[in-house]
Structure 1
Amino acid sequence: MASLTTNNWRKLPIVLTELCIDTTLRCGQSFRWRKTQHDEWSCALHGRIVSLRQDSTYLYYKSTWPSAKYLNLSSSTASTNGDSNVEGDDTKALLQRYLNLEPNLTLHYEHWSLIDPNFKKKAPTFSGVRILRQDAWEALIGFICSSNNNIKRISQMVGKLCVHYGQFIGHIGEEVFYDFPTPEALSADEVETHLRDLGFGYRAGYIAKTAKSLTYCKPQGWLQSLCNLNPYEQNSNYKQFLSGGREGYREAHSQLLQLQGVGPKVADCVCLMGLGWSEAVPIDTHVLKIAQRDYKFDNSKYKNLTRNNYEAIGNFFRTLWGKEAGWAHSVLFAADLKVFSERSSVPRGIKVTETNKSETMVIKRDLEMDESTNEVPEEISNFQEDKPRSRRVKRQKVL
């Protein structure tokens, strides 16, 4: 077993209304965090195991490092790691970025509650939902795995990718941790067949082809070039171009659609949670139901997620909530997840100003559908092209 060094617990002053890890780490953004001993959340990130726990006023964190000789790290990472000394440990900076701690979430919640009565009803029991700033490559592969899948199985698939192709980091108790595999590790010719043997189904081809595309076809740094380099910019004139999103967001979304297994929803997930485009609003059948139920979208007109309907719903939410529409969307998304359906009280330290039990409906999410036994040819199960039609002809469902 590899030699491990664990740094002491350190803390960041952050209240539950600014970050609730029990919600944020379980609401379908990241699929590798696991609850380990002593009610801690742990995940392998950038060559170390990061562990988190929280009370009403502090986020506590520690890093567990293997000895450098057990890791195949780049020289820059190895020098940063040193041999696990606190002085060279960049875990604080890593977490501040990964957990996206710069935006003032309380102010955003207050703003969304003022302009959206439905958000105001749901927000008190779901305070502290932040959008993570994950590695874009991990977000891309994780959400390719999400097609016609549920959160438990997505997590299992991502776990298999790490075990079979990622760097071993170490153990915490009986839990074994591996880092997320690189594109190069998933680009070998035998990867697709192996992933099919592991139960990935048609997603095996998407993952292998996407890894090869980034490794051999795309310019180095291509995916990172799609990132929002200034995610916290304040622009008083943003409404003039926000309905369809900023130019950089639209370009990133368009580029991602060129990859195997990436449809509009997966592209928006990657834009929001991996590339820093806060106006991205991923829309699946679950969000479609929210739009119909809570925002009065006509059930007959918006029966299916055609291209026009997808864009119309996204533009509606961007116009309603503003530049951080994806953040607001994720709060309502979490509020309807089955895993939180029995939540009857808010985390400590959060003042409840208004509740409405009639609103706590459980609606089946796209990521909670039972796995289909049939092969699906493209990531289009919840997305359909508009077809030209006569006004006198009833629209047929596009398969």
Structure 2
Amino acid sequence: MARVPLGFRALSLSVAQLSLPAVLKCGQSFRWQSYSLALGAGEPSDAREWRLALEDRVVCLRQSPDTLFYRSLFTEDGDGPAMETSERELREDATLLWIRDYFQLDIDLERLYDDWSARDPVFKAAAGRFGGIRILRQDPWENLVSFICSTNNHISRITSMVENLCIHFTSAIVSHPPPSASTPAPDDESLIAYHPFPTPRALSHPSTEATLRNLGFGYRAKYIQKTAALLCETHDDPCKWLMGLRNIDKEAARLELLKLHGIGPKVADCILLMSLNQPAVVPVDTHVYQIAVKHYGFRGTSGKPSSMTPKMYAQIAEKLASVWGSYAGWAHCVLFTADLKAFSSYGLPSPAPTVLATASTDSAVPTSLIKPLTNTRKRKLMSLPTPESTPTPFTPGRAKRAKATRTASATQVPVLSDTVVTREESKGGASDGGGSLIDAVKLRRRKSSK
């Protein structure tokens, strides 16, 4: 297990079970903030801390290949009185329970990957690069509003909209510096204010629509305000009612969601999958449509469909569910993530630095002086003469074979043998230090032309 960062607790959990960079940026949740960490030697260069503001705390996560590290920032960590150690321990225990529930850690993801790979060669091909992707169990209200924002939208803009929603409709629960900063003075401008997600009642007032339109929500502003107002009018505790949809039949829950403003079949299915315990549901959008056409025999065009009819939507969802089984929605999320442009290089090894040469043990040039192959040096090397590349063999027809054989025998060019050029052979044309390989090749050509 890796060294536990100061102030954090450790939970043994492999990246194959949970990959934070993939799960928190693949379009499920839009409020996690990510910070680069300035760590010591030996630490991964892409190490990050992730933070999310809940109603009464900010959850902070870090990750190593085999461990999830977590801690909480509480309101008392700001200007309030210091918290007793025993109280902090109890509240950190509650944070761990929240983490286990939110990430659904009771589900063995590696076993699911094995099952999907056995069922589906397309999934198996993606599994190596896109491991550790699981479905979150989010708060239904936040999930609902976030996916109203998602209609005709992209991840970065949804993230910005949700952030503005929190800033304008809730008060900060705590202000804290980013994890890479040193401990600041109370008035330090580096302090970051963390806002929780607003309640339905906070968004139910008629003036909310105008505020959201000014924040760039467009037509979605009306849907959010009207849905919040409807929930507050029909339920004493809207959030509790939404949570109760986890306990009813899938179709009944879908019908209840479709009664709300701004929620169609795809958004309803996202809510069912990501917050209402329906792992078999496969939400179908343009990405999923294209995946179905390209890999699963669904008839259609490779581009965006002109319209997604209810029949087409149902056929794609049923087809993919039949391939992946009872956790089809989870498998769909892996291939959906693999199809996102933002993840085009995800899981690929970083290119190793290219060097011009490797010094041998008896070389007069210290290895510290061997420079990387920069663009300028690449251009210089590209200007040097190089052997002609061998073309791909072409198989002629029977009528041309005899002529091709005669032509080849009449135009054969002698080829220099792959003789190793030693320092002794390069004397006279080489500079001090033994000469370069290029000088040696020139000398060999001069000798062969005599």
Change beyond 3 A, Cα 1:300–1:289: closer
Change beyond 3 A, Cα 1:121–1:154: same
2:77–2:174 contact (8 Å) kept in structure 1: no
Q: CA separation in 2, counterparts of 1:303 and 1:189?
A: 35
- Residues 145-156 of structure 1 aligned to structure 2 (within 5 Å): 145-156=149-160
Q: CA separation in 1, counterparts of 2:109 and 2:209?
A: 41
The amino acid that maps onto 2:335 is L
- The equivalent position to 2:102 in structure 1, one of 98, 110, 120, is 98
Normalised to the residue count of structure 1, the TM-score between the two structures is 0.75
- Residues 97-246 of structure 1 aligned to structure 2 (within 5 Å): 97-173=101-177, 174=190, 175-218=192-235, 220=237, 221-227=240-246, 229=247
Normalised to the residue count of structure 2, the TM-score between the two structures is 0.67
Change beyond 3 A, Cα 1:18–1:162: same
**Deviation digits for residues 196-242 of structure 1 (CA, Å, limit 9, x no counterpart):** 11111000000000100111124533211211x4xxxxxxxxxxxxx
Deviates more, 1:109-118 or 1:310-319: 310-319
* 1:260 partnered with 2:251: no
Q: Which has the higher contact order (CA 8 A, sep 6+)?
A: 1
Q: CA separation in 2, counterparts of 1:303 and 1:131?
A: 29
- The equivalent position to 1:324 in structure 2, one of 311, 324, 327, is 327
Q: CA separation in 2, counterparts of 1:88 and 1:338?
A: 39
Alignment-derived partner of residue 70 in structure 2: 61
Change beyond 3 A, Cα 1:326–1:339: same
Change beyond 3 A, Cα 1:61–1:344: closer
Change beyond 3 A, Cα 1:84–1:182: farther
The amino acid that maps onto 2:49 is E
- Residues 367-378 of structure 1 aligned to structure 2 (within 5 Å): none
* 1:306 partnered with 2:287: no
RMSD: 2.5
Change beyond 3 A, Cα 1:162–1:195: same
Can you give the 5+ residue segments of structure 1 that lack an aligned partner in the other structure?
A: 1-5, 72-79, 230-246, 348-399
Q: CA separation in 1, counterparts of 2:301 and 2:70?
A: 49
* 1:49 partnered with 2:58: yes
Alignment-derived partner of residue 9 in structure 1: 8
1:125–1:345 contact (8 Å) kept in structure 2: yes
**Deviation digits for residues 114-163 of structure 1 (CA, Å, limit 9, x no counterpart):** 01010000111000001001100000000000011111110011001100
Can you give the 5+ residue segments of structure 2 that lack an aligned partner in the other structure?
A: 38-47, 178-189, 351-450
**How many corresponding residue pairs?**
316
2:284–2:317 contact (8 Å) kept in structure 1: yes
SS class of match (1:222)? helix
**Deviation digits for residues 40-59 of structure 1 (CA, Å, limit 9, x no counterpart):** 01110231111111011100
The structure having more radius of gyration, on CA atoms, is 2
1:27–1:334 contact (8 Å) kept in structure 2: yes
SS class of match (1:126)? coil
2:293–2:301 contact (8 Å) kept in structure 1: no
Change beyond 3 A, Cα 1:54–1:296: same
- Residues 380-399 of structure 1 aligned to structure 2 (within 5 Å): none
Alignment-derived partner of residue 88 in structure 2: 85
Change beyond 3 A, Cα 1:68–1:259: farther
Deviates more, 1:206-215 or 1:62-71: 62-71
SS class of match (1:279)? coil
Q: CA separation in 1, counterparts of 2:78 and 2:338?
A: 45
Q: CA separation in 2, counterparts of 1:81 and 1:330?
A: 42
The amino acid that maps onto 1:210 is T
